[in-house]
Structure 1
Amino acid sequence: MRLFYSLAFLALYITPCYAAQLALIIDDIGYRHTDEAVLTLPSTVTLSVLPHTPLSKQLAKAGHAKGHEIMLHLPMEALNGKALGPGGLTSTMNEAQIRTKVLDAIASVPFAKGMNNHMGSLLTQLDEPMHWVMESLKQKQLYFVDSMTTQFSRARDKAELLSVPTLKRQLFLDNNLSKSALEKQFNLMVEQAHIQGNLVAIAHPHPETIRFLRDNLARLKAEGIELVPTSKLLPIDLVHREPTNPTVRLK
């Protein structure tokens, strides 16, 4: 018995004490076979998958099997008029159309626990469409992360109004893919995580980004930062819920 308590005490003593937590979301996943490289990242990295894309179901299932948290990366209309791709939401859609599109998109990405917007600098500013989106997410018990593609987004306000667990993106890691720029943003990510206590960052499945992350994510532990699934930062803990498997940047 004395040995048991000694070992328990030792385990507590050597457990890392983290000063901050970081949720890192890789989104824009689903079109390219090179996107499969995201599966080489630590399982605590969250994968956000575009709906109705050639690899959406395959990569969502493979990511889930490797322990990654899966999100839906839902296209929304942007101010620059950029093409949305399949499943996208526009300001010309009525309530029924938006609800149907959201539910169809959720069904196309198995094991999704949450959603963040792809593009959306126009649509996220609009009250009614965001209300319909959040009601649909609440119906399916998904959380929402605002990608913050515009400072005027109304999405989080609508999520909070409907008690949909919500977070916002605080840093983009890879707007510039040069190694020096990635290093600069990585250091800023570490700094901001320490200042705020927790941080949500978004990156993309560019080969340059994936290589950089494979080489550098281990530095987080030495910095006292714990890399966690996105849902762990939510004000309401949904980690216990196992989702059902369904039968730029002006973003």
Structure 2
Amino acid sequence: MAMFSKKSLTPAPASPQSANGGALAHVRAAIANPYISAGGAALLFLLTLTALVMIIGDPKAGAPVIRLPLAQAVVAAAPPGWREALTADGSGPGIVEEVFELSESPIPEAEAMGEAVITLPGAQSGRRVQPLPPAPIAGLHNPGPNGPLPVIAPNGRTPAQAYARPFQANGKPKVSLIVGGLGLNSRATREAIESLPGEITLSFVPYAEGLQGWIDLAREHGHEVLLETPMEPVDYPDNDPGPYTLLASSGPAETSRRLEWLLSRATGYFGLTNYLGSRFLASDPAMATFTTVLKSRGLAFIDDGQAAGRGLGVPRASAGRIIDDQLSSEAIDQQLLALEAQALQNGQALGSGFAYPLTIAQVAGWAQAVETRGYQLAPASALTR
């Protein structure tokens, strides 16, 4: 009679061959699962990338970046059905309950995986944007018949002080530049605001549509702003700067009326600059009315060189060089180098240019390197006296 042995309650150890076969079957099943294989490939890529950065360093160190929480990226990039693929349906290796519960919320806290760093193509490097306070600043404007007008605050603070870009001299020769004619061409205006460093002062045409929006955007990018004042040239009216041109022949009341209309076009500028004006700037009575209004409203005046030598009794400066009289990259570069030489000789220099696409491009390239040559890039307000 055959004897049957009692079945052991403890399973006998599997042979090495059978154990390996079972493990391989689970591995093959895992690889066959498209969700798990895709996740494994992504994990391998991240580990490889991390190792490379640790070994060779970040090649984009110092460049502007966007930081994106990886928790959001993982959930957004996961393929449809990833949650269902984690359940044990018998077709693949089983998932224990604890892993499934954790996988319901892959990253409970965004900080657990840190941030992804994305470098923006074409972005400027080496400079941090320093936004200026939004305009209008309380106490520095009053309502006028055509819009807000700048005023000196009760504590004595002036718009020239409040709306200028803060500046701290470091003892090096100061180089300043004003780029004007902005507001009429939206593409050139945006390019100047976004591509030039905040130390470059921008001046805007008072007739520009959406002027306040442009000034606000410029200040958000760290630029102080001047408002251009159309003034009578010697060949007026053949060369007519517009309906609110300040005329040398006008009396004080008419000059003040036109000037107040120009001033009410927007807020946020620290001063005025001339547009044309060879005849107006040469008239003592006309300039007396002009400077009286500016002084009463706490504004600065910076001219393109035509009024050099006039004190006028307000914070002011004169540009010593127009950089784009000849519109070629070589000529502009030569003028910028001449501006540096002037700063080296006098301790400071102020230039001006128009918002031609070529001028903007040349100034952007020059501004990135000028301080490496021993100069300090300064806003125009820093040169007023």
Say whether residues 1:117 and 2:298 are aligned partners. no
Q: Which residue of 2 aligns with 1:105?
A: 262
Equivalent positions of 1:166-185 (< 5 A) are 166-185=316-335
Q: Which residue of 1 aligns with 2:198?
A: 43
**Deviation of 1:57 (Å):** 2.2
Output the CA distance in 1 between the equivalents of 2:204 and 2:329. 25
Task: Identify the match of residue 224 of structure 2 among 60, 69, 72.
Answer: 69
The structure with the largest alpha-carbon Rg is 2
Q: 1:71 to 1:155 in 2, by over 3 A?
A: farther
**Deviation of 1:42 (Å):** 0.4
Output the CA distance in 1 between the equivalents of 2:291 and 2:258. 13
Extract structure 1 runs of 4+ deviating beyond 4 A. none
Q: Which residue of 1 aligns with 2:291?
A: 134
- Please say if residues 305 and 321 of structure 2, whose CA atoms lie closer than 8 Å, have aligned partners that are also in contact: no
**Deviation of 1:216 (Å):** 1.8
Unmatched segments (≥5 aa) in structure 1: 1-15, 236-251
Higher relative contact order (CA 8 A, sep 6+): 1
Output the CA distance in 2 between the equivalents of 1:55 and 1:209. 23
Equivalent positions of 1:198-209 (< 5 A) are 198-209=348-359
Q: Which residue of 2 aligns with 1:243?
A: none
Say which is worse superposed, 58-67 or 200-209, in terms of deviation. 58-67
| Paired residue type of 1:22 | V
Q: Which residue of 2 aligns with 1:144?
A: 301
Output the CA distance in 2 between the equivalents of 1:80 and 1:222. 43
**Deviation of 1:155 (Å):** 8.0
Q: Which residue of 1 aligns with 2:314?
A: 164
Output the CA distance in 1 between the equivalents of 2:375 and 2:278. 31
**Deviation of 1:127 (Å):** 0.6
Say whether residues 1:19 and 2:172 are aligned partners. yes
Output the CA distance in 2 between the equivalents of 1:55 and 1:27. 16
Output the CA distance in 1 between the equivalents of 2:171 and 2:356. 29
- Please say if residues 130 and 154 of structure 1, whose CA atoms lie closer than 8 Å, have aligned partners that are also in contact: no
| Paired residue type of 1:182 | I
Output the CA distance in 2 between the equivalents of 1:90 and 1:119. 11
- Please say if residues 27 and 47 of structure 1, whose CA atoms lie closer than 8 Å, have aligned partners that are also in contact: yes
**Deviation of 1:30 (Å):** 2.0
Unmatched segments (≥5 aa) in structure 2: 1-168
Q: Which residue of 2 aligns with 1:241?
A: none
**Deviation of 1:195 (Å):** 0.6
Q: Which residue of 1 aligns with 2:21?
A: none
**Deviation of 1:86 (Å):** 4.3
Q: Which residue of 2 aligns with 1:56?
A: 211
Aligned residue pair count = 213
Residues 174-198 of structure 1: CA distance to partner in whole angstroms, max 9, x if unpaired? 1111111011111111111111101
| Paired residue type of 1:79 | V
Residues 103-154 of structure 1: CA distance to partner in whole angstroms, max 9, x if unpaired? 22122132010111110011100011101111111111111112223xxx48
Q: Which residue of 2 aligns with 1:248?
A: none
Say which is worse superposed, 22-31 or 167-176, in terms of deviation. 22-31
Output the CA distance in 1 between the equivalents of 2:367 and 2:308. 32
Output the CA distance in 2 between the equivalents of 1:108 and 1:225. 35
Output the CA distance in 2 between the equivalents of 1:38 and 1:84. 23
Output the CA distance in 2 between the equivalents of 1:154 and 1:43. 26
| Paired residue type of 2:276 | M
**Deviation of 1:23 (Å):** 1.7
- Please say if residues 203 and 209 of structure 1, whose CA atoms lie closer than 8 Å, have aligned partners that are also in contact: yes
| Paired residue type of 1:199 | A
Q: 1:44 to 1:29 in 2, by over 3 A?
A: same
**Deviation of 1:170 (Å):** 0.6
Output the CA distance in 2 between the equivalents of 1:80 and 1:43. 35
Task: Identify the match of residue 363 of structure 2 among 185, 189, 213.
Answer: 213
- Please say if residues 176 and 200 of structure 2, whose CA atoms lie closer than 8 Å, have aligned partners that are also in contact: yes
